[in-house]
Structure 1
Amino acid sequence: MNEKATIEAAAPGPKLGPGLLVLVVGPSGAGKDTLLAYARERLAGRDDIRFARRRITRPADATEDHVSVDAAAFALAVELGRFPLHWQANGLSYALGEEVAQDIAHGRIVVANGSRAAVPEARARFARVKLVHVTAPTEILAARIAARGRESADEVLARLKREPPLDGPPDLRILNVDGVDAAGERLAAFLRGL
């Protein structure tokens, strides 16, 4: 996801567990949502694996399966402690919903599209976190972002320049340049093995 995201501190408390949070991170345009959709379809029969729908302060569209939340409702949910993880990036607010904490409490694996900048907070909030880093060459990223039609050429370039480093090596790295089947199967196989 992004690039100089800012994280709001969560209230201290015991870490969420015993389940596992798998954060899929990487630059915009890497194809995270596409690979998540592929893996979700391949693992549809697995009750122990859930795929999170993020809350985002952006209207719903066909490019991403998320729950649209207005800024006031998002701020209230943060204030009430309803989000187990939330962050700011690219002028928007993002969060994982309450169902993620419930699934983690029931010992499930929850797979979520996250932000590299949110990883340290995720590690502080969840007892078990695995990291999948999806990326692609810059020219591919730029073309994919531009195809969404949400940003100008200058905004696309600015987005690509904002890329925070990972806080350590990922548990799986996917270079998403081949067909979705190849990269998607790598993610699905990784999740099957957890």
Structure 2
Amino acid sequence: MAGGFVLIVGPSGAGKDTLIALARAALADDGRFSFPERVVTRPPDAFERHDSVTVDEFRAREAAGDWALAWEAHGNCYALTAAARRQAESGLVVVANISRGSVAEARAALPVLAVVEITAAPEVLAARIAARGRDGDQGAGLASRMRRSDSAPEVAADLRLINEDAPATAAAKLKALLLSCIER
């Protein structure tokens, strides 16, 4: 089996982290997969698991070569670690949530097996963003996230999941895609 990254992308509120968590749980006993947490310059919350660091720590680790991929979005810095890259290079399928704007860079820099775009109708996205209650996700912040969704670059995804029904439905499709990556 050749390892590599399965990159999960999509607009805020699409349910990317929910579906990744469901896939992680469904594949917990399958040692061929890794679901590393991103590093983000924002405190974690109930909707997104990640390692939280300060901007200064992020920049220091970036300078030290700790990141396989780094990007900025919504006023925060995000990264996938060099350790995740080593996992992919060792043969694991590494499932990671990244920015749509970073897909081209990721395809050039990482062993990418597939890109999965998860999305939903604008009214579903807006309701989910507002419901999570993060600072900056209300009023003008919500409008800003929705505008970013509309203006995001087109992504050449290998699979597109519409996540508007029960999350288990889209999670089953995501799990099937992840398992198909093993068989390539």
TM-score normalised to structure 2 length: 0.92
Q: Does the aligned pair in 1 maintain the 2:5–2:112 contact within 8 Å?
A: yes
Identity of aligned residues (%): 44
Equivalent residue pairs, number: 176
The aligned counterpart of 2:153 is 165
SS of residue matched to 2:118: strand
- Within a 5 Å distance, the mapping from 1:122-161 to structure 2 comes to 122-150=106-134, 151-161=137-147
- Within a 5 Å distance, the mapping from 1:63-82 to structure 2 comes to 63-82=47-66
145-154 or 114-123: bigger deviation: 145-154
SS of residue matched to 1:52: coil
CA-based RMSD of the aligned residues comes to 1.1
- How far apart are the structure 2 equivalents of 1:167 and 1:157? 22
Residue 107 of structure 1, CA deviation: 1.2
- Structure with more helix by fraction: 2
Q: Deviations for 1:54-80, whole angstroms, at most 9, x for unmatched residues?
A: 000001221211000110010011111
The aligned counterpart of 2:174 is 187
Which amino acid in the other structure matches residue 57 of structure 2?
A
SS of residue matched to 1:162: helix
- Within a 5 Å distance, the mapping from 1:84-95 to structure 2 comes to 84-95=68-79
Residue 44 of structure 1, CA deviation: 0.8
85-94 or 122-131: bigger deviation: 122-131
TM-score normalised to structure 1 length: 0.87
Which amino acid in the other structure matches residue 171 of structure 2?
G
Q: Does the aligned pair in 1 maintain the 2:67–2:81 contact within 8 Å?
A: yes
Q: Does the aligned pair in 1 maintain the 2:7–2:112 contact within 8 Å?
A: no
Which amino acid in the other structure matches residue 158 of structure 1?
S
- Runs of 4 or more, structure 1, over 6 Å off, are none
Which amino acid in the other structure matches residue 15 of structure 2?
G
Q: Does the aligned pair in 1 maintain the 2:4–2:89 contact within 8 Å?
A: no
- Structure 2 counterpart of 1:58, from 42, 46, 52: 42
- Structure 1 counterpart of 2:82, from 87, 91, 98: 98
Q: Deviations for 1:3-30, whole angstroms, at most 9, x for unmatched residues?
A: xxxxxxxxxxxxxxx6211110000000
Residue 128 of structure 1, CA deviation: 2.9
- How far apart are the structure 1 equivalents of 2:141 and 2:60? 29
